[in-house]
Structure 1
Amino acid sequence: MESPLALYRRYRPESFAEVIGQDHVTEPLRAALANNRVNHAYLFSGPRGCGKTTSARILARALNCERAPVADPCGECESCRDLARGGPGSIDVIEIDAASHGGVDDARDLREKAFFAPVKSRYKVYIIDEAHMVTTQGFNALLKLVEEPPPHLRFIFATTEPDKVLPTIRSRTHHYPFRLIPPRLLSSYLSELCDKEGVSLDPAALPLVVRAGGGSARDTLSVLDQLLGGAGSAGVTYELATGLLGYTPDTLLDDVVDAFAAGDGAAVFGVVDRVIETGQDPRRFTEDLLRRLRDLVIVAAVPDAPATGLIDVSEDQGERLVAQAARFGPAELSRAADIVASGLTEMRGATAPRLLLELLCARVLLPGADHATDGVLARLDRLEKRLTISGGAPTPTSAPPAPPAQDRPVAPAHRPDAPDPAAARPEPVAPPVAEPAPEPVPEPVSEPESGTTAEPAPAPEPVVEAPPEPAPTPAPAPAASGSLSLVDVRRLWPDIVDATKLRRRLAWMHLTQNCQVVAVDGTTLTLGFANSGARDSFVSAGCDDVLRQAAIDVVGAEWKIETIVDPGAQAEGTPAVTRSAVAEPAAAPPAPEPPPQQAPQQPPAEPAEPGGPSASAAAREAIQQTRSADHQPEPSGPDWASADADAHPDDLDADHQGMSATELLQRELGAQMIEEIRHQ
């Protein structure tokens, strides 16, 4: 049994309609044939394997077809059958390889035979392939014949270098430039051929075949023919394509890109070692890495590039590219691509390509060692990635975080406009604050906290928001100044989880399936687990240490990891309360704040402190004296607004006393405030 012909010969086009990717050439030629306006000489130029010689044969068939003038050969007449795919050929269509017949003697021989009439066709057609190999003397010998041929003679020159064709010859021809075939069109054509051959082709392997062909139809079909010959029962798989074509597997590229994003030097150099140990070419790996970085640069600029076809990748790989691009900054990606491109240039002819590969990986990992503009921008990208978020700042209000001393007399008017949920959360005294009654304006006669008796101005909008519900989750202390809030941590949470995947997959599985972020403060990150089994497994396996190190690497925060069992944990652990009630507990006891009608309420099981209101007033006086001693820029007695600012969780003075303002208020005023309301 005879072996079949090569794939590019079995599927050679027989009409201009079957030629792919060259519509700018085939359509004008078909129109010229149909209108019987054919020139005596043509010059087909373009890259190899793009259809020049095939189109010349189709043109010769159309010229000698019995139904001429016709745009496409009929395929039924004797001339069409002789010149068909696998046909014996026609004596009136002569193909000459100028690479071996380009001398002056060959040109003279051609000139002598050209004057004889065709044997059985309408035209005698000379197809001169690799025409740029004809010598200058040979072209000069043909010049007169090409310029004024006999009526039965037609010339078709095909070349990859039209500039080397003698200008006097080129000026006598109709020049049609051929182009490389677009990858998307070539991919669909290969899929059709595989269906005709009855062999399955892995969609992930198809881009590799197209890439190996380089836009040439003949080269691409040769590569596919090789893969089809070596395919097993599963068809052409991705592993077979990468092994035979020598391309780097996507898994290695994914690993090294993820390691670059996380700044994990051990993982990067581990990938380099795997490249060498598996016998792959470091230059090819560097080239594939540069191509991957190029794709990431495009995806960073155009996030929907994989979906729109701007990047020819499979669907799952497109999703991976979008996720990877989101972990880099644009300057960081551009700098990495520049480093890899320059390293690829240096590798050509190098005797130690592995060494150069490791050095360029080290340069990508260390933007701090690069004092050029690209290095500075890469470091800025990393800083912005960690500190993009405004450090958990409250919603913008009319009162600045640190108001000047001269603005303090009018601060009571600002207090209702700054409902900072972060400041309200540290006061978990839910029963007294839960009163829906503070609709009227507060009636403080005097504020016993400071020495002044400044009455707060009536709240312009004492809106009563939703009554608070007792929060089952622990209310964390507010974040320190410049740290991340709960919203910020949830925005960075995917990157932190991805960083744990590089260290331990078990931790990554727990974080993606069983838990969510419940609360965060300056030192503690609280996670809520769906059940106790998941929580115990997470802690016993040491996954909390993995998460802690990942948080240090990604956001630079060294948190203590606490775990709780709370399937219904919410992002905001403490519900909103009335604005007038929220502003007061931030710095001072809200003892005078509740109206008299709140007295009948019975607080839930709170032990009454001896001393009653006088003890509460004494405690508040002690707190105010401590703050007044430590707070230097307060020569005059502060009003409620300054007290609110002092009692903010970012206050350094409260921390200077050995405990936070929240702990101090809860210890000194938690029960006294309820007792004071009961006495009223």
Structure 2
Amino acid sequence: MQSSLALYRRYRPETFAEVIGQDHVTEPLRAALAHNRVNHAYLFSGPRGCGKTTSARILARALNCERAPISDPCGECRSCVDLARGGPGSVDVIEIDAASHGGVDDARDLRERAFFAPVSSRYKVYIIDEAHMVSSQGFNALLKLVEEPPEHLKFIFATTEPEKVIATIRSRTHHYPFRLIPPRVLSDYLAELCTKEGVRIDAAALPLVVRAGAGSARDSLSVLDQLLGGAGPDGVTYEVATGLLGYTPDNLLDEVVDAFAAQDGAGVFGVVDKVIETGQDPRRFTEDLLRRLRDLVIVAAVPEAHASGLLDAPEDQAERLVAQAARFGRADLVRAADLVAAGLTEMRGATTPRLLLELLCAKVLLPGADHAELGVLARMDRLERRLDVAGSGPVDLPAARPVPRPEPTAPTAPRAEEPAPAAPRAEQPAPAAPRSEEPAHAGPRIPEEVAQRPSRGAGPDQPAPQPIAEPAADEAAPGQLSLADVRRLWPDLLEQVKRMRRFTWILLSQNAQVIAVDQRSLTVGFKTAGARDSFLGGGSEEILRQAAIDMVGADWKIETVVDSATDPGAQTAMRVTRPAVPDAPEPPSGPEPPDPGPAATAQAAPPRAGASEAARARIAATRGPGAPEGEQGPREDPDADAHRDDPSAADNGIDTTELLARELGATVIEDIPHS
């Protein structure tokens, strides 16, 4: 028989210690009862279902307890047993519903009976519920009795609208305002009741029950009772709660928020279509979206909001909120929340809520059309984020050891107004031209400082070699990230991946680099097929995509290729687009150190007019027996002293003579046959 009662009746508090969320009321009342300083009339006010009538019954039990004065009823005496849960009640404690007994005749009848002494208790207690429904004539009829009652009489008025109780009555009572129960307190209380009932409930479903109860203990228990009645073998799941209570699932809210962050109109309107197709209420969806934006605004201002109690959400959802808030600017979030709030107001009573919802989403997606203050601030937020991503600000460069600059052996180049003296070509060192960081098919590129000065091997009338244009693969449309931008941001992107999943970070940092990028896709090259298979098979593709959304706001499709030339270690160096000074040449592995003078440079080219016999002998030593002119012999690498980024004939498919003429402006005078 007991189990058939509703939850709010089965678990109705019997002492002030069991009342939750009303410590500002229960503690003073307990102190007054313990010290026997009880007033003759009380006014309990507050929202529905927050404990007003329950506290009035507890107060009546404590007043008539045989152990009084006592702060809480003992629960053992006759009065406490009669007034307990499921008890028969007491003739000395009279509850009156003022909604049906609020007239002047009812007040006169009460006044006539109030003078009779209690039957078996110490006090006769009148609990007048919904006191604001008593008419002014009824209050006036009770005024004298409430002002000067007999010693055995106590009044307790309970109401949700204390301002409707006439001032003369309010002035003669002790007023205790009840409040809504805090969500965290109510959530813990509901979890405790589920444990007592032996039913499991998902942690994500509890906030939905608390939200449906709106701070009322009775309403929350009614909702929980409904969910427990329909619970299956797995208990109360999140899916059951969202379906039964009509709330928008979190995955839909995550999808629409991610689409707003990425400026993905197709994704936003796709979510709206899902809402309509699944039969959900557009107004409820808009309300849930506004609540999500409110959470994001708080998280953007206070990243530790979940830990400090500002947000009541499960741990995994709190992490998602932090990641989503990082994709917006604060002004952008406030503007979106303001638009959604205004749209929700317009939807009330509208006959076409879907149309209004779609127009609302279009406004959120187009801050450029909003000339108000929040629209301007939202555009500034997006511009600043784009400039930060594109690297217009200062770039943190890793500390590099200084590279020694070789001492020049030729006289300093003359000023522009003085004629340049002719110098023997064999005596001048050939400047090293570092190879471009771009793909090999784009051709070599000369550094700026080499391209800006005339070639040392050319005469004063010979034009200096012109720098080769940047390859088109590294160019990007306005507002779009180029390959150089993404490569510069690659270390920061790897740090974001590391925070999300360490396995993916290890794969990318040791085996991969960016190969290409466009508006829709990001191509990553892997050193081996095994590393690529591990990346695709372990779900790392989605981790990298999500990290890119978090970092730059770009929802790229991740493409993968196998590229044996991939060098992940070069990614840090790629944060600088062009080195100002070429790296110093590394010493060869042979027993004899290289000659840093002009003869060492002459090893890589055929001798020209005026070359010394020693230089010719050194050139001959680099060729194997019978090797044709201009080819390298097998004895040792003739490019051992060259910079690793120097253009080479092998990389470009041309012969040595053409490479020297194109890169250094050199002219081969004669060929010396191999002796």
* Shared fold per TM-score greater than 0.5: yes
2:596 aligned residue: 598
Residues 287 and 344 in structure 1, CA contact (< 8 A), matched pair in contact too: yes
Structure 1 residues 13, 33: CA separation in 2 closer, same or farther (over 3 Å shift)? same
Question: How many pairs does the alignment contain?
Answer: 547
Distance 1:259 1:59 in 2: 55
AA paired with 2:148?
E
* CA-CA distance at 1:3 after TM superposition: 5.3
Query: Are 2:605 and 1:608 aligned?
Result: yes
Tell me, yes or no, if structure 1 residue 570 matches structure 2 residue 569.
yes
CA deviation string 1:162-206 (max 9, x = no partner): 000010000000000000000000010011000000000100000
How many angstroms apart in 2 are the aligned matches of 1:389 and 1:435?
A: 29
Give the structure 2 partner of residue 25 of structure 1: 25
Amino acid at match of 1:345: T
- The residue aligned with 1:463 is none
Q: 2:4 matched to which residue of 1?
A: 4
Amino acid at match of 1:445: P
CA distances 1:600-624 after superposition (whole Å, capped 9, x unpaired): 9978x9742453899xxxxxxxxxx
Offset at residue 87 of structure 1 (A): 0.5
**Partner in structure 1 of residue 206 of structure 2:** 206
Secondary structure in 2 matching 1:126: strand
The verdict on how the C-alpha distance between 1:671 and 1:569 changes in structure 2, with shifts beyond 3 A counting, is farther
User: Which position in structure 1 is the counterpart of 2:320?
Assistant: 320
Structure 1 residue 575 displacement after superposition: 10
Checking the alignment, whether the CA contact within 8 Å between 1:526 and 1:564 is kept in structure 2 is no
Q: Output one character per residue of 1:207-228: Cα deviation in whole Å (capped at 9) or x when no partner.
A: 0000000000000000000000
Alignment of 1:87-126 (within 5 A): 87-126=87-126
5 Å matches for 1:421-440? Answer: none
**Distance in 2 between residues matched to 1:121 and 1:556, nearest whole Å:** 75
Q: For the residues of structure 2 that align with 1:669 and 1:72, how far apart are their CA atoms? A: 98
Per the TM alignment, residue 310 of structure 1 is displaced from its structure 2 partner at its CA by 1.1
Alignment of 1:283-322 (within 5 A): 283-322=283-322
Pair 1:601–1:288, CA change in 2 (3 A): farther
1:529 to 526, 530, 535: 526
User: 1:388 Cα shift?
Assistant: 1.6
Whole-Å separation in 1 of the counterparts to 2:475 and 2:660: 19
TM-score relative to the length of structure 1: 0.71
Structure 1 residue 474 displacement after superposition: 6.8
Equivalent AA in structure 1 for residue 162 of structure 2: P
Map of 2:358 onto structure 1: 358
> How far does residue 598 in structure 1 lie from its aligned partner after superposition?
1.9
Q: What corresponds to 2:77 in structure 1? A: 77
Match of 1:41 in 2: 41
Q: Tell me which amino acid in the other structure corresponds to 1:529.
A: F
Letter of the 2:227 counterpart? L
Distance 1:186 1:2 in 2: 24
**Higher mean C-alpha deviation, range 84-93 or range 307-316:** 307-316
Which amino acid in 1 is paired with 2:171? S
- Which letter maps to 1:188? D
Q: Deviations over 1:21-46 (max 9, x none)?
A: 00000000000000000000000000
The one-letter amino acid paired with 2:324 is Q
Q: 1:529 to 1:320 in 2, by over 3 A?
A: same
Report if aligned partners of 1:519, 1:571 keep a CA contact under 8 Å in 2: no
Match of 2:411 among 422, 445, 450: 445
Q: Quick one: which amino acid aligns to residue 249 of structure 1? A: P
2:394 and 2:358 mapped to 1: Cα distance? 46
**Cα distance between partner residues in 2 of 1:25 and 1:668:** 92
Aligned to 1:251: 251
2:153 aligns with: 153
Query: AA paired with 2:596?
Result: Q
For 1:68 and 1:529, the matched residues in 2 are separated by 82
Distance apart, 1:538 and its partner CA: 9.8
**Partner SS state of residue 140, structure 1:** helix
Give the Cα–Cα distance (whole angstroms) in 2 for the partners of residues 559 and 120 of structure 1. 82
SS of the equivalent of 2:200 reads: coil
Q: What does 1:233-272 align with in structure 2 at a 5 Å threshold?
A: 233-272=233-272
Matched-pair contact (CA < 8 Å) for 2:146–2:155: yes
- Aligned partners of 1:244, 1:558: CA distance in 2, in Å? 36
Shift of residue 295, structure 1, vs aligned partner: 0.6
CA distance in 2, matches of 1:25, 1:299: 33
Find the counterpart in structure 2 of residue 592 from structure 1.
none
Structure 1 residue 329 displacement after superposition: 1.1
TM-fit CA distance, 1:265: 1.0
1:384–1:115 CA distance, 2 compared to 1 (3 A):
same
Question: Identity over the aligned pairs, expressed in percent?
Answer: 68
Partner-residue secondary structure (3-state), 2:4: coil
Alpha-carbon deviation of 1:573? 6.0
For 1:57-90, what per-residue CA distance to the aligned partner results, in whole angstroms no more than 9, with x for missing partners?
0000000000000000000000000000111100
1:385 to partner: Cα distance = 1.7
Partner of 1:229: 229
CA pair 67-566 structure 1, distance change in 2 beyond 3 A: farther
C-alpha spacing 1:252/1:449, structure 2 compared with 1 (3 Å): farther
Give deviations 1:218-259, integer Å, cap 9, x for gaps: 000000000000001100000110011000000111111111
Q: Deviations over 1:605-652 (max 9, x none)?
A: 9742453899xxxxxxxxxxxxxxxxxxxxxxxxxxxxxxxxxxxxxx
> CA RMSD of the aligned region, Å?
4.6
Contact 2:487 2:574 in 1 (8 A): no
Unaligned 5+ residue runs, structure 1?
Answer: 397-419, 425-433, 455-469, 498-507, 587-594, 615-663, 674-680
Counterpart-to-counterpart distance in 1, 2:415 and 2:662: 13
Structure 2 spans left out of the alignment, 5+ residues: 421-434, 446-469, 498-503, 584-592, 612-657, 668-675
Shift of 1:267: 1.2
